[in-house]
Structure 1
């Protein structure tokens, strides 16, 4: 198939429904071109994957690695890329969650220029798990955070919401007692959470996906939340000090 697009660098899309992952890759060097794609399937493991997929360079070899949550294993699998679509070696990383991880992201949580792993814990009472990377493909023990409130995390993103220069984590929360919220966990720059605040999304329908960005051009990070049962987006506009305005329903 042909796709009309604009591109200047390597383009890689990774699609997965199980631990067997399909990698679609191509290279474009012109500003406007047609791209042809080759489908490559790699079987990493005989266990079932769950939820999202993320990519980063966890061992600093200049190649993209892949991370996926494993279904009912309370672990993630990191598959190391060799730059030739082989993905021969892998390692299992414990999340410390008391339930399956549903969503995983890679980010530098402790400001050491090495990529770490953040996992949303499905089913509670844990909210998120942080696993700090050593930069050589190995990882430290998981640190799990719970807010002590009902609900479990569904989706994750990161950003500096209070302007202290450290990455914070935001999670959409499916409240067991009917609460529809997002939880912001404030990072201390050393890989730990210094505090957390829960913000209402203002609707009865569950919060699901979310994304962080500056949506009102005030140079402060905001949060956009997608609802589960309805085609609706809720905006939380950030003030840059760790607080947000009332939910705006779109």
Structure 2
């Protein structure tokens, strides 16, 4: 399979999201561009080909993480993205094939990662952000109209850099897991279902965990955790007990500098596999 490339000008693409932003039942791409104060939207034609990129200003030279969801309940996908250099999160509400000027909300210092979920069971999407230099996460509850409350913060380990969301204790409330780059562990925050969370419980990982994801790796209906350990050249798998607690890590060797992790069934055997991005390579672990 040969690649098709698309120009983003002088931008340095950093994070990518996929969704149908114009409701034509075709997948589109949105890309955060580090260093150029913008994000790019590439509208899909449904045949694997995309239109030229449309650029939208973020007023930030360091937009490095993105999350997608319907933030104002108009049945159109919207985007939330991290502005690392201005310590804000930007919201752009989707209208057909374009995004208006962003609305920003203050975060902690040097936010690195963002995710969305309904943390208080009001059918409105909320936001959680990892504030790296503040050693906190910030939870911003959504009003359902594209606007959000100010963040409520919870202490993490050192340098939280990656977020994943899931129900770890089978109580139908969303929980949060954070990879703490500076303290070589993950923090698990169990949700109460009202938008608030218990204090963190930490579990050891390998050296400098860079990315975290969740999935049921042993088919017991309980969510597990996988972490990419950049300096350890390993991935850590922490199996969940279904009550919000996890077993000690089992590690697997990777290539040099694993910095991103994704989960999916890549060989159609109904077993989840792990995809690791290395600094210069891509590796799939089955």
TM range (shorter): 0.7 to 0.9
1:229-248 equivalences in 2 (<5 Å): 229-248=231-250
1:168 to 168, 175, 199: 175
Shift of 1:11: 1.1
**Conserved in 1, the CA contact under 8 Å of 2:164 and 2:177?**
yes
Question: TM-score, normalised on structure 1?
Answer: 0.85
Does structure 1 conserve the Cα–Cα contact (< 8 Å) formed by 2:58 and 2:102? no
Aligned residues: 230
List, as ranges, runs of 4+ consecutive aligned residues in structure 1 with deviation greater than 6 Å: none
Residues 128-161 of structure 1 show CA distances to partners (whole Å, capped at 9, x for unaligned) of 00000000111112101114xx512110001111
Higher relative contact order (CA 8 A, sep 6+): 1
Distance change (3 Å), C-alpha of 1:246 and 1:45: closer
Q: Secondary structure at the match of 1:51?
A: strand
Distance 1:45 1:158, change over 3 A: closer
> Is residue 68 from structure 1 mapped to residue 81 from structure 2 by the alignment?
yes
Residue of structure 1 aligned with 2:105, choices 90, 93, 109: 93
Q: Distance in 2 between matches of 1:72 and 1:38?
A: 30
RMSD: 1.9
Is the 8 Å Cα contact of residues 225 and 234 (structure 1) preserved in structure 2? yes
Note if contact 2:130-2:138 (Cα within 8 Å) is conserved in structure 1. Answer: yes
Q: Which residue of 1 is the match for residue 38 of structure 2?
A: 20
Superposed CA offset, 1:21-63 (max 9, x none): 12223243xxxxx422112222323322332111111111111
Is contact 2:168-2:222 (8 Å) kept? yes
1:88/1:50 Cα in 2 relative to 1: closer, same or farther (>3 Å)? closer
- 8 Å contact 2:32–2:64 — kept in the other structure? no
Question: 2:148 and 2:167 mapped to 1: Cα distance?
Answer: 24
Tell me the distance in 2 between the aligned counterparts of 1:151 and 1:65: 31
Unaligned runs of 5+ in 1: 29-33
Counterpart-to-counterpart distance in 1, 2:177 and 2:99: 31
Corresponding residue for residue 31 of structure 1: none
- Confirm or deny that 1:57 pairs with 2:83: no
Q: Equivalent residues in 2 for 1:151-190 (5 A)?
A: 151-175=158-182, 179-190=183-194
User: What is the DSSP-based 3-state SS (H/G/I as helix, E as strand, rest coil) of the residue aligned with 1:195?
Assistant: coil
Contact map agreement 1:44 1:79 (CA 8 A) in 2? no
Aligned counterparts of 2:49 and 2:100: Cα–Cα separation in 1: 25
Partner Cα distance (2:236, 2:55) in 1: 38
